[in-house]
Amino acid sequence: MPVSAADAARPSRRPRRRFRTVLAFCAAAALAAATVSGCADFSKQDNDRNAGPFSKNNESFEIKRPPRTPPPPPPGLPSPPPGPCVDPDPNVITTCLDSTAAVTPADASGSFTVVAERTTGKIIRAQRFSEHKVLMTIPGVDASGDGGLIDFAQSPTYNQDKLWYAYVTTPTDNRIVRIAHGDVPKPILTGIPKGRTGNLGSMFFRSTGELIVATGDAGNPAAANDPNSLAGKVLLVTEFSSGRNPRPKILASGVGSNPALCPSNSTIFVADGTANADRLSQVSGRSLRTVWSWPDKPGLGGCAVVEDMIAVSTQRTQRIETLRAPTPEKPSIDKPTVVLEKQYGAIGRMRPVGNGLIQFATVNKQYGSKVVTQDERVVRFLVPGGAGGGEDRM
């Protein structure tokens, strides 16, 4: 067919249509490949996100909820230092401590800690990969047996008075002292009986003018029920002048060895050990009302109220167990749930941070557990919720 000069000058449209068809096919194929690849990647992320850092639960217990991973610490942490004191576990805040006693969070995220070394009398502030900063050393503590620097607390008005309070063992007794930087300890409450064992105790400020103290039985269970003895009691101290030593009010008697206080609003819980069982109790009407008991005596080391649960630590069985806190509507308690077991060794004192987090200190050197190079340690731990069972042990 003849082609005119005008038609010969006009470009053909067929190659352009063919190019568009090929381009559309390639784009569709690329989109399909990206969709398939993206689904696989998100599934892996979901699986990784659901994986938890906690150890397997004990055979006799069932963890009802999957463990959660603690939120990451704030940015700007120091670089890992050289040497044997680096723990690869990201939840370990500080390492290479001497035998520990009390521990308390030093910031809202729980990334910093303040911990007491029972045998040295040091109060230390630390964060991950940082050197220990000694805030205070209590001189003259007697660390024989289970004594020493037992507990500490900053003054509720620390920003004004810069005072620390400490529960310590001396060569003659256990006592509460007040101390300022560069000064000697001033006695606030003296004459708490001292024994070969049973010296450990606990304390916290309930308000600016109220210090709650739990004293051990000093190895003499009879003293815990003697109204004339300060051993084995929960006490209310309201006088903080040095040298006066007024007798404190007794809130409860019959406390055993190694008592740990864990307050919850207006309620005070106490974890301790007796000759027949370890137990968690509630201070009620100048006495202790048993919430739960452990006849196998796992060696309760500490307790902390976390939201609507109570977490307790153990030394012999190396666990953290949780129970639902009793309420007026449900005073009975379900069987404890094991949420951590044999991951860090023997666990001692613990304190809540907030948002389900706690800090706890290990006590492997004191209780004959296997000691690793990094001991003793302070750990940041997110407590999973839930308690199994339904047995009433009131």
Give me the DSSP letters along 218-236: TT-HHHHT-TT--TTEEEE
Please tell me the predicted confidence (pLDDT) of residue 372: 87
Q: Residue 163: which of 179, 174, 182 has the closest Cα?
A: 179
Residues 6+ apart with CB under 8 A from 171: 142
HEC string for 254-320? CCCEEEEEEEECCEEEEEEECCCCEEEEEEECCEEEEEEEECCCCCEEEEEEECCEEEEEECCCCEE
Please tell me the predicted confidence (pLDDT) of residue 21: 43
**Could you tell me if 284 and 272 are in contact, meaning their C-beta atoms sit under 8 angstroms apart?**
no
Please tell me the predicted confidence (pLDDT) of residue 335: 93
Please tell me the predicted confidence (pLDDT) of residue 34: 39
Buried-state track 341-376, b at ≥16 Cβ within 10 A, e below 16: bebbbbbbbbbbbeebbbbbbbbbbbbebeeeebbb
Rg (CA), the chain: 29
pLDDT in tens, 26-79: 344 443 443 433 333 333 333 333 333 323 333 333 444 445 555 555 555 566
Cα distance between residue 142 and residue 159, in whole Å: 30
- Cross-strand pairs, 300: 314
pTM: 0.78
Please tell me the predicted confidence (pLDDT) of residue 65: 46
A 10 A CB-CB count for 17 gives 9
**Could you tell me if 294 and 33 are in contact, meaning their C-beta atoms sit under 8 angstroms apart?**
no
Cα distance between residue 238 and residue 240, in whole Å: 6
Please tell me the predicted confidence (pLDDT) of residue 55: 32
Cα distance between residue 144 and residue 277, in whole Å: 25
Q: How many residues does the chain have?
A: 394
Please tell me the predicted confidence (pLDDT) of residue 24: 43
End-to-end distance of the chain based on CA atoms, in angstroms? Answer: 107
Please tell me the predicted confidence (pLDDT) of residue 4: 44
Task: For each of the domains in the chain, give its residue range(s) and CATH number, in order of start.
Answer: 92-382 (2.120.10.30)
**Could you tell me if 147 and 100 are in contact, meaning their C-beta atoms sit under 8 angstroms apart?**
no
Cα distance between residue 355 and residue 271, in whole Å: 22
- The enclosing H or E element of 112 equals strand 112-117
- Residue 55 per-residue DSSP state: P
Query: Tens-of-pLDDT digits for all 394 residues of the chain?
Result: 444 444 444 444 444 444 444 434 434 444 344 343 333 333 333 333 333 332 333 333 344 444 555 555 555 556 666 678 889 999 999 999 999 999 999 999 999 999 999 999 999 999 998 999 999 999 999 999 899 999 999 999 999 999 999 999 999 999 999 999 889 999 999 999 999 999 999 999 999 999 999 999 999 999 999 999 999 999 999 999 998 899 999 999 999 999 999 999 889 999 999 999 999 999 998 899 999 999 999 999 999 999 999 999 999 999 999 999 998 888 888 899 999 999 999 999 999 999 999 999 999 999 877 888 899 999 999 999 733 333 333 3
- The enclosing H or E element of 43 equals helix 14-50
Alpha-carbon dihedral 335, 337, 338, 339, rounded to 10 degrees: -160
